[in-house]
Structure 1
Amino acid sequence: MSLLVVGAILLSIILGYKTRINIGLFAIAFAYLIGSFALGLSPNDIIKMWPLKIFFIIFSVSLFYSFAIINGTLEKLAEHLMYRCRHFPHLLPYAIYITTTIISALGAGYYTVLAFMAPITLLLCQRTGMSMVIGSMSVGYGALTGANFMSSQSGIIFRGIMANAGVTENQAFINSIGIFLSTAAIPLIVITALVFFTKHRSTIAKGGYQADLPTAFNKEQRQTLTLTLIMMGLVLLAPISHLLFPDNQTITFINSKMDIGLIASVFSVIALLLKLGDERKAIASVPWSTLIMICGVGMLISVAIKAGTINDLASWIGTSIPAVLVPVAFGIVAAFMSLFASTLGVVTPALFPIVPSIAQSLSLDPMMLFICIVVGAQATAISPFSSGGSLILGACPTEESRTKLFPQLLFRAAPLGFAAALIFNLLITFVL
């Protein structure tokens, strides 16, 4: 039965990749067929496996942050941040990374940020002569890092999957801080190596980079940015205060009433009342395909849990791999999965549920395992076969540049990211 479920997960990924049909739809179909006809579950039991809480949180948060997208707030913010780098053209990769990270952390999400930052970045590469590999890695890393922020899309998804795996919400928040800090450190090291230990600086000096002064934020954009910062403050202040003052009853009470999905819903209503964007466009901007993929795979993972697959896999890892190498092994497996599959939709929903039992049986720190999985998965997210890499390829201004960038992403960017992630995972496993 466990082999059947694992085969269904792999087949969902392969079929999704080959047919370009959402992996989540295949996962839902397999969850029904295996759950009802092999495990004897009722259709109602299968439907209840839809991860409603994760769905609601992603929907609510994405709906609120979509106002910043449709009224141009994020694009305007990107223009202003990039303009600040005009006197230091060789530091442009840092500007791209920091700009993309800030915008992604403000809640736009990985795919949305790449959708409008990748074309800007590749255009800058064309104008300045900067390597497309450096530009692609800077924008890709930035979108990933910002999205991993505790109140942004990926950070929220990670916390939700951890909670479903039995991790307390408080510990899930702490784990998400570790993931964010780790995925922020690696890109800075890689970008520094690319900026100062390659021909990047001399190439940029010959390019004559110039940036025009962007127009000021309009009233709606200023209000949107203010609302976004207020919501981020509310979402982060309560859990952080609770971590600092766990015995304070008032803070404990307030923290128990905080829910990012419900808070985002309130702020969406405020944004609509202030007329910061069209309701229909905001709803259309919700990443429905990502939602279907995450929730569909979540249903199939729930079937795997019912079938005992997760326990079998955890038992196999616990007895077949030396305990000290388990975190590194998780990172390597996640990296290879991410070459062809989504970190959010496939890799973390498949691997996170194994972590608690593995950590308990081998006396490992669960946070270290969660970090190694995400670091490994995001190391190869720039692969042209992965969703992130394909978005960057799609942003190329010409077919010639797209043809040139494809092998560079596959044979330079992805291996470089993998090497950096492997070294990082080895360090936190054996040194920290």
Structure 2
Amino acid sequence: MMSLLVVAAIVISVALGYKTKINIGLFAIAFAYLIGCFGMGLSPSDIINMWPLKIFFIIFSVCLFYSFATVNGTLEKLAEHLIYTCRAFPQLLPFAVFATAGAIAAMGAGYYTVLAFMAPITLLLCERTGMSLILGGMAVNYGALTGANFVSSQSGIIFRGLMTGAGISENDAFINAFGIFLSTLVIPLVVISAFVFLTGHGKSMKNSSFVATPPSPLNREQRITLWLTLAMMAMVLAAPIAHIALPDNATVTFINSKMDIGLIASLFSVIALLLKLGDERKAMASVPWSTLIMICGVGMLISVAIKAGTIDILASWIGSTIPPVLVPLVFGIIAAIMSIFASTLGVVTPALFPIVPPIAATMGIEPMVIFIAIVVGAQATSISPFASGGSLILGSCTSEQSRTALFPQLLFKAAPIGFVAALVFNVLLTFVY
């Protein structure tokens, strides 16, 4: 009975957030308190301790450092330079848009931030180069998703935190997160390549008269910010990779044990402030506070669900009902449906990731396969005009006419193509493993 109540609370939180536009995390905190304290006999301190402090600290620290690149214009300037390099090969412009959005998101800008300033640029390029709106929209959306999924970027960090919270070791979480990144890199490249080389999109862009003006060079603050960002990414990646390659080396093991991306990002934030790379108040304001509250609030409600035994019941049901070969596919479909109405980072992955380890252990499936299936499925429908990605792209249209033309393309072409591509990938992934 209590498990059904918790599940209903999660659904109601999402529905209320969608209807009222109030942060879902706030509803989740309220339900966690009411159900946990008055329904399950937990103390208020128990509920407060369910706040995922580690995930909160890591996301806050990393986003604070990366926000300097947004505040001082480094990311925008980088986008201009990367797109300019493609001026001689207009038919490759979708790949340039994808790579640009991906690189900027991987540097920590996050999915929504990248779309906010890359979508208008991309749609403007569509008008000037003959690139179709649907191809441009898919390229920028896929790029922002892929880059954000990088192991040291916003989504990648959240995935790693959720996995370790579900009982996965730090090393395995790193490997799983890298698998998610590679998977969400392969799918877009295949889809975009099919558009460019197997349809008329590439030919129309090749015959276009695309004129690109040279961007201005990076200033002092932007150059230093870029080098600091690359240095931090290198530090964060070097230690776990070295430990995976040399697991018995005592020195590597010691260094890896002292590495924490949240603390490293905090150190680099101090360096950025001392070097005056951006205004502290603007950088602090750029931290995605609403996303943080949503992730942590839902995390509290998920912790209540774990206490109530909801996760074990759901894992047992899936384990006894669905054949092992179909488990990743089913998880991908569930995640895709959920993400139409709810955030991948704030709701879908916090709700589904804790189920993965017990199901994987019971059915003899590699956990990474299910983790990948969940993320691939959840992000497949993000370009729907009803989802956050599609709505941001529609909002970036320069005219009502282009917005009206793009809406059905996103709903009836882009979203179904992404969904089918995700299903095919999850099926192939299941048979490979």
TM-score, normalized by the shorter chain, greater than 0.5: yes
Distance 1:24 1:165 in 2: 20
- For the residue of structure 1 that corresponds to 2:422, the secondary structure is helix
Counterpart AA for 1:110: Y
Residue 56 of structure 2: aligned partner: 55
Residue 88 of structure 2: aligned partner: 87
Q: How does 1:278-427 map to 2 (within 5 A)?
A: 278-427=279-428
Residue 181 of structure 2: aligned partner: 180
Distance 2:61 2:212 in 1: 36
Q: How does 1:90-109 map to 2 (within 5 A)?
A: 90-109=91-110
8 Å CA contact retained: 2:89, 2:206: no
Q: How does 1:107-122 map to 2 (within 5 A)?
A: 107-122=108-123
- For the residue of structure 2 that corresponds to 1:339, the secondary structure is helix
Q: CA deviation at 1:150?
A: 0.7
Residue 130 of structure 1: aligned partner: 131
Residue 36 of structure 1: aligned partner: 37
Q: How does 1:160-171 map to 2 (within 5 A)?
A: 160-171=161-172
Residue 193 of structure 2: aligned partner: 192
Distance 1:27 1:119 in 2: 34
- For the residue of structure 1 that corresponds to 2:120, the secondary structure is helix
Distance 1:403 1:304 in 2: 42
Distance 1:296 1:372 in 2: 24
Counterpart AA for 2:262: G
- For the residue of structure 1 that corresponds to 2:217, the secondary structure is coil
Residue 233 of structure 2: aligned partner: 232
8 Å CA contact retained: 1:105, 1:146: yes
Distance 2:271 2:154 in 1: 20
Distance 1:324 1:76 in 2: 46
Q: Deviations over 1:156-192 (max 9, x none)?
A: 0000000110111111001011111111000000000
Counterpart AA for 1:427: L
Q: How does 1:124-273 map to 2 (within 5 A)?
A: 124-273=125-274
Q: Deviations over 1:197-247 (max 9, x none)?
A: 222123324541111000001111000000000000000000000000001
8 Å CA contact retained: 1:341, 1:387: no
Distance 1:339 1:409 in 2: 13
Distance 1:431 1:300 in 2: 35
Distance 1:15 1:81 in 2: 41
- For the residue of structure 1 that corresponds to 2:371, the secondary structure is helix
Q: Deviations over 1:105-160 (max 9, x none)?
A: 11111111111111111111122231111001100000010111110110000000
Q: Deviations over 1:269-321 (max 9, x none)?
A: 00000000000000000001110111111111001101100001000100111
Distance 1:242 1:431 in 2: 26
Instruction: Give yes or no for the alignment of 1:73 onto 2:78.
Output: no
Distance 2:408 2:36 in 1: 41
Say which is worse superposed, 299-308 or 194-203, in terms of deviation. Answer: 194-203
8 Å CA contact retained: 2:90, 2:208: no
Distance 2:404 2:300 in 1: 38
Distance 1:201 1:124 in 2: 14
Distance 1:324 1:200 in 2: 37
Q: Deviations over 1:3-46 (max 9, x none)?
A: 11111111111111111111111111111111111111111111
Q: CA deviation at 1:407?
A: 1.9
- For the residue of structure 2 that corresponds to 1:166, the secondary structure is coil
Distance 1:431 1:112 in 2: 35
- For the residue of structure 2 that corresponds to 1:149, the secondary structure is coil
Distance 2:303 2:390 in 1: 29
Distance 2:152 2:321 in 1: 37
Distance 1:132 1:24 in 2: 34
Distance 2:418 2:266 in 1: 37
Residue 428 of structure 1: aligned partner: 429
Distance 1:431 1:158 in 2: 23
The ranges of structure 1 where at least 4 consecutive aligned residues each deviate by more than 6 angstroms after the TM superposition are: none
Count of matched residue pairs:
432
Distance 2:18 2:390 in 1: 14
Counterpart AA for 1:81: L
Distance 2:389 2:4 in 1: 30
Counterpart AA for 2:141: G
- For the residue of structure 1 that corresponds to 2:214, the secondary structure is coil
- For the residue of structure 1 that corresponds to 2:341, the secondary structure is coil
Q: CA deviation at 1:369?
A: 0.6
Identity of matched residues, %: 74
8 Å CA contact retained: 2:305, 2:311: yes
Q: CA deviation at 1:381?
A: 1.1
Say which is worse superposed, 102-111 or 402-411, in terms of deviation. Answer: 402-411
Q: Deviations over 1:241-272 (max 9, x none)?
A: 00000011111001000000000000000000
Counterpart AA for 2:148: A
